[in-house]
Amino acid sequence: MILINKFVILQTPIKFFKVNLLRVVFFPFAVIYGIITFVRNKLYDLKILKSYSFDFPVISVGNLSVGGTGKTPHIEYIIRLLKENYSVCTLSRGYKRKTKGFVLADNNSNALQIGDEPMQFKNKFDDIRVAVDEDRVDGIKKLKDKYPDIDVFLLDDAFQHRKIAPGLSILITSVNKLYTEDYLLPTGSLRESISGANRADIIIVTKTDKFLSPITKRRIYSELKPKFYQNIYFSYVKYGKILPLPSFDFKVTKSKFNTILLFTGIADSTDLQYYLKEMCNELIFLRFPDHHYYTKKNIELIRKTNNDIYTKNKIIITTEKDAMRLTKSKTIDFIKDLQIFYIPIEIEFKKNDKKKFNKQILDYVEENKPIR
C-alpha cells in the first residue's frame, strides 16, 4: 500500500540506486536476450522464417516494451473510426487467459476465457467480432472462413508476432519513457532492440500533455529519428465519468473526496494516480501485478484497507481492465457488498494529428478492402 504524498519523493534516490544496480547485475542476461531476438528477427528479415501476408486490411498495434503504453485505448479509437463503415474484427492472443487455441468471444465470455483486453473490446463494442488465438495466422484464417464479410483485422499486441506481415504496423511508445530511453529485458522493459521500430509505418507517442509545446515535439522527433516512410503522431488520455462496475447500479454523488482507495493490476498507473490526486485529499494505492486475476484474499485486503479509512467521504476506484477481471469471474461473489467504481479512458490526438492519422488509416483500409 502506498500513500501518495511527499514521502514518495524521498524514496526516489533509493529507488534510482536500486534500479541501476539491477541493470548492472542483469546486463549479461540482457546481452543474451538481445542476441536471441536479433537472430530471430534476422531470420524473418532474410525470409528463412516465413511471414504471411493477406490481401485484405490487417493492422497491427503493438509496442517494443512489455506494457504500459496504452495499446488498448488506441485500438478502441481505431474501432470507433472504422466500425460504422466496415466490418471490424480484433484478434489477440488473450494474455493470461485459462483457455488455449482459437476462441471467439460471445455475450457469455469472461476474462478467464479470452483475457481482459478482448473482454473489454467485447463489452464496449457488441457490433464487432472479437477473437483470441496464440497463432494469429491460424486465427485470421478461421475467422475469414467463418465470416468472409470481415473487412479489416486489428491485431492487438502483435508487433513481435513476425509470423504475420501486417499491411499497416502501428508502434506505441509512452512519452514518459520512449523506447529509445529504455533497455532490453531484463535490465529494462524492451522485448527487442530499438532497431525493431524500423518495421513500424506509424509511431504514436502516447500520454502526452493535451497542449504539447513545439520544443517538446522537436525533442521527441530528434530522439526517435523516424525513417522517411514513418509518420509520428501524438496522443493524450481523456478520462471519462466514474462508473460502477458493470452489472452494478451504485452511483457517484460527489466530485471531491477526502480519500480515494485506488487498486490496479496494470503495468503503469502513474498518470491515473496523478489525475485522481486532484479529486481528493488523500490517495491510497494498492498495486497488483499486470493482468492480475483477483482472489478472495485480494478482495479481503481491499475491504480491510477501505474499512480502515476513517471517513465517510471516500470511494474505491479501479481501472476498466480490472473491472473486466472482477465482474467477469468468480470474484464477483466477493465484491457484492463493496461499492467499487472504475474510470474508463479514451485517447485523443492533437488537432492536426487527428485529421492526418484518421486519413492514413481510412485510406489504407479503403485501398485494401476485399472486393465483394
Domain ranges of the chain: 58-86+151-237+348-367, 243-343
* Per-residue cell: 139: 486465427
pLDDT of amino acid 141: 96
CATH numeric code, 243-343:
3.40.50
pLDDT of amino acid 281: 95
User: E-assigned strands of 200-359?
Assistant: 202-206, 231-239, 243-244, 257-264, 280-287, 314-319, 340-343, 345-349
Q: By C-alpha distance, which of 289, 315, 283, 317 is closest to 2?
A: 283
pLDDT of amino acid 22: 65
pLDDT of amino acid 1: 42
293's CB contacts (< 8 A; 6+ apart) are: 96, 111, 112, 325, 329, 331
pLDDT of amino acid 309: 94
Q: By C-alpha distance, which of 169, 179, 204 is closest to 353?
A: 204
Identical fold, 58-86+151-237+348-367 and 243-343: yes
pLDDT of amino acid 91: 98
Q: Quick: pLDDT tens for 186-239.
A: 988 999 999 999 999 999 999 999 888 899 999 999 999 999 999 999 999 999
pLDDT of amino acid 12: 44
What is the spatial distance between Cα 139 and Cα 99, in angstroms, rounded to a whole number?
14
Q: What is the pTM of this model?
A: 0.90
Q: How does DSSP classify residue 51?
A: -
- Burial of residue 118 (CB within 10 Å: 0-12, 13-18, 19+) is buried
What is the separation of C-alpha 18 from the centre of its chain, rounded to a whole number of angstroms?
27
Q: Quick: pLDDT tens for 243-298.
A: 998 878 888 878 899 999 999 999 889 899 999 999 999 999 999 998 898 988 99
The fold of the 58-86+151-237+348-367 domain, in CATH, is: Rossmann fold (3.40.50)
List the chain residues with pLDDT less than 70: 1-23, 328-329, 372
